[in-house]
């Protein structure tokens, strides 16, 4: 099942309840399964950008999800001060650091309590926080792109993708056999759908 399919499962939930809150407050297996499917791709991206080897990413991601599950029991979310994605990225980075220390047969420092790690994230900004923001934007953009592909015709998608990559409207129009003005219309329609879905994802997954 793809990330988009998993995200679409959320549409029946009240918009005021994020997936994070459903897991934290209800603690049911179905909500957790959905949570893991949605966020795992983001966690893997953060791990890879933080230096994890491709061969280790899946095992590391699984460990991160286990730590998140345990951490949610005492997790006090303060979105106005620190986003959930920042905490999630810090848990991933902390997991990778401990894994690397073990792999190098070094003495491992006591693992940071992940709920405390969130509180530390409130008062400081690190490279991990910057990485979290970058990877989150990529994550939601890719998810939105996968989502809108089912809503538009191929020519509309190609017009948007071509112009997003720097092609001129005239070049895109010539390649697709459409009028230049139509190329602009196609791009605008897809962009508006993308923006709407990105907004929804940010609201539901990191509100």
Residue 199: pLDDT over 70: yes
* Pairwise pLDDT comparison (113 vs 161), residue with the higher score: 161
Query: DSSP class of residue 113?
Result: P
pLDDT in tens, 12-52: 433 334 666 667 665 667 778 888 888 899 999 999 998 89
Q: Using alpha carbons only, give the angle 34, 40, 46 rounded to the nearest 5 degrees.
A: 155
d(CA 163, CA 146): 18
Quick one: tokens of 166? 């720097």
The predicted structure's pLDDT at residue 7: 40
- What value does the mean pLDDT take over residues 55-76? 85
Instruction: Report, as an integer, the average pLDDT of 174-202.
Output: 95
The predicted structure's pLDDT at residue 203: 81
pTM: 0.68
Q: What is the spatial distance between Cα 49 and Cα 135, in angstroms, rounded to a whole number?
A: 9
């Amino acid at each position: 099942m793809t990330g988009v399919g998993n995200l679409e499962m959320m549409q029946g939930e009240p918009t005021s309840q994020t997936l994070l809150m459903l897991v934290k407050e209800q603690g049911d297996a179905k909500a957790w399964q959905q949570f893991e499917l949605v966020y795992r791709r983001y966690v893997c991206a953060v791990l890879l950008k933080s230096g994890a080897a491709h061969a280790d990413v899946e095992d590391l991601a699984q460990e991160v999800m286990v730590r998140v599950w345990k951490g949610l029991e005492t997790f006090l979310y303060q979105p106005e001060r620190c986003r959930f994605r920042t905490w999630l990225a810090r848990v991933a980075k902390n997991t990778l650091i401990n894994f690397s220390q073990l792999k190098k047969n070094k003495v491992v420092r006591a693992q940071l309590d992940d709920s405390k790690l969130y509180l530390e994230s409130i008062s400081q900004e690190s490279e991990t926080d910057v990485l979290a923001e970058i990877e989150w934007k990529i994550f939601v953009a890719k998810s939105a792109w996968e989502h809108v592909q089912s809503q538009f015709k191929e020519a509309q998608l190609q017009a948007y993708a071509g112009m997003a990559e720097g092609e001129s409207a005239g070049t895109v129009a010539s390649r697709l056999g459409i009028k230049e003005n139509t190329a602009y219309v196609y791009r605008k329609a897809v962009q508006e759908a993308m923006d709407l879905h990105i907004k929804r994802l940010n609201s539901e997954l990191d509100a």
